[in-house]
Amino acid sequence: MKLQLHISTCPNDTFMFDAMVHRRIDTEGLEFDLSLADIEQLNAGALQGVPDISKLSYAVVPQLLDRYRVLHSGSALGRGNGPLLVSRHRIYPDEVSGIRVAIPGEHTTANRLLATLYPGVTDKRVYLFSDVADAVMSDECDAGVLIHEGRFTYREKGLRLVADLGEEWEKKTGLPLPLGAIAVSRRLDRQTQRKIDRVLRRSVEFAFAEPSASAEFVRGYAQELSEEVTHRHIELFVNEYSVDLGAEGRKAVCALLERKEEEIFV
């Protein structure tokens, strides 16, 4: 069976999916037609019901529960890895309301968190995630929400931290922050959905056991990142929750989405 698989070009995704895409593990007869894109493009594709399997922002999952279920493996979820609100000039958290904020997509978890923690921000402008820092540096926006590798490089660009949105979430809930999910289409039967979940878990476990195996695949889509930033990216976003969400991970997802487990997961 060949399945349409849509993931991002970010190192955490290419690291986790390398083994199943390149058949370094037992895929139980599954083959994958791979497409890579920016997270907001992935969200849009899933909203149209295109892929069989897709990386998604957790924030968009409630809009897709009639078409997709979330896998237990492959998530980007954890502590200390949330989006960062940054600015060029000093802005205090209580001054955020009313400013122009660059966001990395309307349907991203970053935008959902910003709305939850700073409901007074109404002037939001959408950019490709990799262009958010430039929008702030050029004064097109007063502040911006950084995701992915942007959290590692913003200081080098002369930007300063206004608020760590992930840290604020953790203070509020005591739970890890769900960022990215892997979802599977309800067009597939439950047996196939669970098979995909098993294969992905096997792929993530292989990535941890043989990290050098995915190096060429990861580097091919992370050419603008230094080796150090690529390594830090993987280390931060791929963890025990990526192997399996577990009870705490599922609780965090349910808290963010305000939904019950049976509505969400395979």
Per DSSP, the three-state class of 36 is strand
- Going across the sheet that includes 84-87, the strands are 123-126, 100-103, 143-146, 84-87, 160-164
Rounded to whole angstroms, the Cα distance separating 85 from 80 reads 14
- pLDDT of residue 124 exceeding 90: yes
pLDDT of residue 226: 87
Can you give the pLDDT at residue 81?
A: 86
Tokens read off for 143: 């502040």
Mean pLDDT, all residues of the chain: 95
| 107 in active site | no
- Alpha carbons 250 and 241: distance in angstroms, whole number: 9
State the angle between helix axes of 11-21 and 227-237 in degrees (0 to 180), rounded to the nearest 10: 80
H helices of 221-260, in order, are 227-237, 240-243, 246-257
232-247 pLDDT, tens digit per residue, is 989 989 999 999 999 9
Longest dimension (CA), the chain: 55
CATH placement of domain 84-173: 3.40.190.10
pLDDT at 153 over 90: no
Domains 2-78+177-264 and 84-173 share a fold: yes
Please tell me the CATH superfamily of domain 2-78+177-264, with its number. Periplasmic binding protein-like II (3.40.190.10)
Label residue 98 by pLDDT band (50, 70, 90).
confident
From the list 22, 148, 231, 233, the catalytic residue is: 148
Say what the pLDDT of residue 80 is: 87
Confidence of residue 160 (pLDDT cuts 50, 70, 90): very high
- Residue 254 in tokens: 């349910």
pLDDT grade, residue 22 (50/70/90)? very high
What lies within 8 Å, CB to CB, of 225 at 6+ separation is 11, 149, 233
Backbone angles phi, psi at 79, to 5 degrees: -115, 140
Q: Kindly report the pTM of this predicted structure.
A: 0.88
Joined tokens for residue 245: 């969400």
The ranges assigned to domains in the chain are 2-78+177-264, 84-173
State the binding site for substrate: 55-57, 109-110
| Kind and range of the H or E run holding 102 | strand 100-103
* Residues in binding site: 55-57, 109-110
